[in-house]
Amino acid sequence: MPTTMLHVPTPDGRADAFAAFPEGGGRHPGVLMYPDGFGIRPVLREMARELAGHGYCVLVPNTFYRHGPTPVIELPEYIGEEARPAVFARLMPLIEEHTAERALRDADAYLGFLTTRPEVAAGPVAVTGYCFGGLLATRTAAAHPGLVAAVAAFHAPVAADGLDALAGITARVHFGHAESDLTPESLGELNRALDAAGVDHTSEIYPGTVHGFTMSDTDAFDPAALKHHWDRLLPLLDRTLTGG
């Protein structure tokens, strides 16, 4: 897949971003992919290339660009249990500083940039995200009901802003939850709120999973759950962006 690093102008500076495009040129639907808190790294680049291979232009922004270009913090090649405390000690202050107001300013910039790229077809886009990025994806969908046609979030705290915040979403939704993150009772409460808001959704716990199950460079990785993630994500994008 053709790939490149781009710089997205924002009200607070320039965000570096990884972009992947389908082979053969032409214009294709756009997908904004928010990384997990660990940021842009080989596993995220590979996921973006995989998605581009299915016919989408994918933009993966450096969420923490205010603190420097990718990699904002040094990461081991494999983020195992022993490495996590030191990584999170550096990561959590960045997450805490990334307020909802900052996130929405950035979302405006990312979507404006994505939708005006010559490779991106006119029409609605999709937003997806992982962990903290899934919360950002959900916020972005709620703030841009006329533009975002699909949103998918995986092992993400999608209700962190309160269940009422989900009422602004008009996109089709898939939430894939880790079993370690959400009880069946909490899932039921979330899904009732989505139903009450009239959100077209699937929202499910992926059996036997722990937080971070899509990320192959962590000890949370679950290959079967990653496949299930693609089996949910690709049909969602096909229905909403290509009319499949």
pLDDT at position 78 is 96
CA distances from 118 to 10, 41, 45, 48, 101 (A): 19, 25, 21, 18, 29
pLDDT at position 243 is 78
Q: CA geometry: angle at 218 spanning 215 and 222, to 5°?
A: 55
In the chain, the domains with their CATH numbers are 3-241 (3.40.50.1820)
Q: How far apart are CA 173 and CA 236, in angstroms?
A: 8
- Give 148's strand partners: 125
Look at residues 155, 146, 171 and name the one whose alpha carbon lies nearest to residue 237: 171
pLDDT at position 1 is 75
pLDDT at position 116 is 97
pTM of the model: 0.97
The string of pLDDT tens digits covering residues 167-220 is: 999 999 999 999 999 999 999 999 999 999 999 999 999 999 999 999 999 999
pLDDT at position 189 is 97
pLDDT at position 209 is 98
Q: How far apart are CA 12 and CA 7, in angstroms?
A: 13
Q: In which residue ranges of the chain is pLDDT below 50?
A: none
Q: Where are the alpha helices (DSSP H) in 71-128?
A: 84-97, 100-115
pLDDT at position 84 is 92
- Give 233's strand partners: none
First to last CA, the chain: 22
N residues, the chain: 244
Characterize 61-79 residue by residue with b for buried, 16 or more Cβ atoms within 10 angstroms of its Cβ, and e for exposed: bbbbbbeeebebbebeeeb
pLDDT at position 36 is 98
Furthest C-alpha separation in the chain: 47
| Residue 115 CA, distance from chain mean position | 17
How crowded is the C-beta side of 114, counted as CA atoms within 13 Å?
Answer: 31
How crowded is the C-beta side of 203, counted as CA atoms within 13 Å?
Answer: 26
pLDDT at position 242 is 86
